[in-house]
Amino acid sequence: MHFKSCKSRGHIYYAVVHSKRRENKIFQEYLLKLGRLDKHRELVKKFHDLLYSIGYTFPSPISTLEIDNVFSYGQELALHKVCEEIELISTVNRFTTKGGGPELGKIVEAMAINRNCDPCSYYQLQDWYSKSALPFFLELPASDLTYPVSLNALNYLQPETTIPVQVEIYKNINRVYGYNCKRLDIDLTSTYFEGEECILAEFGHSRDHPIHPSKKLQIVLAFVVDQKGVLVTHRVWPGNRTDAKSLKPVDRCLKNEFGLDAPRVMDRGISTWENLIYMDRKKERYLVALRAGVKGTKLLAEIKIPMEEWANVGDEQVAASVIKGRRKYVVVWNASVARTNKKEREAKIVKAEKELKKLLESVEKGEIGSRSERDEKIGHIKKKYKVTRYIYTKGSKKGFSFTIERTRALKEVEKYDGYQIFVTTEHDLSEKEVVESYRIRDQIEKAIRTLKNVLGLHPQNVRTKEHVLGNIFVCATAFQLRSILRMKLKDKGIDLSIEEAMRTLESLKAVHIAVGKEGEIHVHRKLTRFDNETRTLIEVFNMADNEKLPEVEM
């Protein structure tokens, strides 16, 4: 007889087998199927105790030494410490009305930390949770975090409760980490659905593939981050929501719910004239890239300074400004962008001309049967390369031949290549400061990429409206925790990305070792060995806790 293990569906199963020979072939007869030993741990311990009680001694002073479990530890502890600092659990519990069962705050923390460590479906959440150190940190048994419990929790995470939660948490963040909000970056994205239709989803403009209309039902999301890249709040709409219509509800929420009057920083998709008028009427402060072109605004005519005397704002860029009322218009000319635009436009025109000349050859060969066929093909070529404004074709009075000419619009558009307009209410900012301040806005674009590619926001795999809204709140909270860790690294001057930091912390594991000695069995927790980088992160993220990280000597 011998003990045999086999792997099935990610689990190790055990059995007692006996080898037999039949017709010169060896086969194994299963005498006793034990299943998963982790299900029989208490039984094994009782068996060891019984052996000790009858005087059985093992060969070594340590009667039994086995790995009881290995838990993911480092990432979970760093994120849990942030949750403790910002009082996530108590805040969620205070603003929600969940009845019996596990605390909603603890469930939200478990979900948000999972998104940062190993995003999985809510069906798989319990299995991941049981292999992490979170049950120890949260004092929430894995058996309580079932699939129905997880889905039910999403029903309570609706805007009427999550907005007050976000307001309180952001106040806690400002208080705990000692800073005030000085700017609010606002941007939109979209995410799609797989499978069955969701009541929130609509067909609309895809932010992932802006050239082509979305072929999937989607929803639109607005996210707001502060100057440190920390998430403030978010908003969700059906998929046919336009960028321009998103500003007012977000702005009202920031002002009325959060009480924030820091400058709003937005891209040209949101910055319509109507929205600028709205913000002026509300006395809001802002810094935006203007959607309108320099030609339509006629600002060049109002700038009396020759371009040679414009302020150098870096990267082959020069700028000049005009103040009109509460608005300061900053006109920027980028030589590199001007060259690139001209080159790309010329390449399109050349390709279109080449195809038009081939079409002309077909006409001369008699391969085109009518003027309508000719005109249809000409229109298709111009539209394909987007050169309708720049190429003029004139059909001859006899036959189907035509001529090809470049229009005056081509030279006109070249005059305005490379220009961009910024508008701000902050008159004390120089042209260079305006440009540099707007560049910082890329942090919200990075935030959205992180939400989609790292935290499991994209695509959505839940269906009901309540579950979608709850799931997006979980993803937003996950990013909020992550952005706080990133802020801590930056504030300490640690030259390490949050992705690198998380990978380092991932190597920190807790090994539970079952040791039997002198009639007793004890389970000891040992942590994997630290290197210098891990010790630095432990200190920066305030993880050195005698109870939770007992082996750290700082």
- What string of DSSP letters covers 466-487? HHHHHHHHHHHHHHHHHHHHHH
Alpha helices (runs of H) in 208-303, residue ranges in sequence order? 247-252, 273-281, 294-297, 299-302
- Which 3 state secondary structure label does DSSP give 101? coil
Q: Is the pLDDT of residue 494 over 90?
A: yes
Q: Of 85-99, 170-184, 206-220, 483-497, which gets the smallest average pLDDT?
A: 206-220
Q: What would the pLDDT profile of 329-370 be if each residue is shown by its tens digit?
A: 999 999 999 999 999 999 999 999 999 999 999 998 889 889
Q: Of 81-90, 213-222, 498-507, which gets the smallest average pLDDT?
A: 213-222
Predicted local confidence at residue 36, as pLDDT: 56
Rounded CA-CA distance 398/392 in Å is: 18
Torsion of CA 273, 279, 281, 282, to 10 degrees: 170
Q: Where are the domains of the chain?
A: 2-69, 293-432
Rounded CA-CA distance 74/506 in Å is: 6
Number of H helices, E strands in the chain: 20, 17
Q: Is the pLDDT of residue 64 over 60?
A: no
Rounded CA-CA distance 97/156 in Å is: 8
- Whole-number average pLDDT of the chain: 83
Query: Could you tell me which residue, 356 or 315, shows the higher pLDDT?
Result: 356
Alpha helices (runs of H) in 145-252, residue ranges in sequence order? 147-155, 159-177, 247-252
Rounded CA-CA distance 308/452 in Å is: 44
Rounded CA-CA distance 474/153 in Å is: 10
Rounded to an integer, the average pLDDT of 507-514 is: 72
Rounded CA-CA distance 279/498 in Å is: 35
Query: Could you tell me which residue, 248 or 369, shows the higher pLDDT?
Result: 248
Confidence of residue 163 (pLDDT cuts 50, 70, 90): very high
Measured from the Cβ of residue 151, the count of other Cβ atoms closer than 10 Å reads 18
Rounded to an integer, the average pLDDT of 289-293 is: 88
Given CA atoms 50, 56, 62, 63 in this order, what sign does their dihedral have? Answer: negative
Rounded CA-CA distance 66/80 in Å is: 29
Alpha helices (runs of H) in 118-258, residue ranges in sequence order? 122-130, 134-138, 147-155, 159-177, 247-252
Q: Is the pLDDT of residue 210 over 50?
A: no
Residues 6 or more apart whose Cβ sits within 8 Å of residue 486: 229, 497, 498
Rounded CA-CA distance 524/299 in Å is: 73
Q: What is the DSSP string of 488-533?
A: HHHHTT----HHHHHHHHHT-EEEEEEEEETTEEEEEEEEPPP-HH
Confidence of residue 202 (pLDDT cuts 50, 70, 90): very low
Q: Is the pLDDT of residue 552 over 80?
A: no
Confidence of residue 235 (pLDDT cuts 50, 70, 90): very high
Predicted local confidence at residue 14, as pLDDT: 62
Query: Could you tell me which residue, 544 or 469, shows the higher pLDDT?
Result: 469
**Range list of β-strands (E), 210-285:** 218-226, 231-238, 264-266
Rounded CA-CA distance 189/273 in Å is: 21
Predicted local confidence at residue 465, as pLDDT: 85
CB 451 within 8 A of CB 457: yes
Q: At what angle do helices 74-85 and 498-506 cross, to 10 degrees?
A: 120
CB 454 within 8 A of CB 481: no
CB 234 within 8 A of CB 157: no
Q: What would the pLDDT profile of 404-413 be if each residue is shown by its tens digit?
A: 999 999 988 9
Query: Could you tell me which residue, 358 or 55, shows the higher pLDDT?
Result: 358
Confidence of residue 16 (pLDDT cuts 50, 70, 90): low
Q: What is the DSSP string of 426-450?
A: -TTS-HHHHHHHHHTTHHHHHHHHH
Query: Could you tell me which residue, 36 or 382, shows the higher pLDDT?
Result: 382
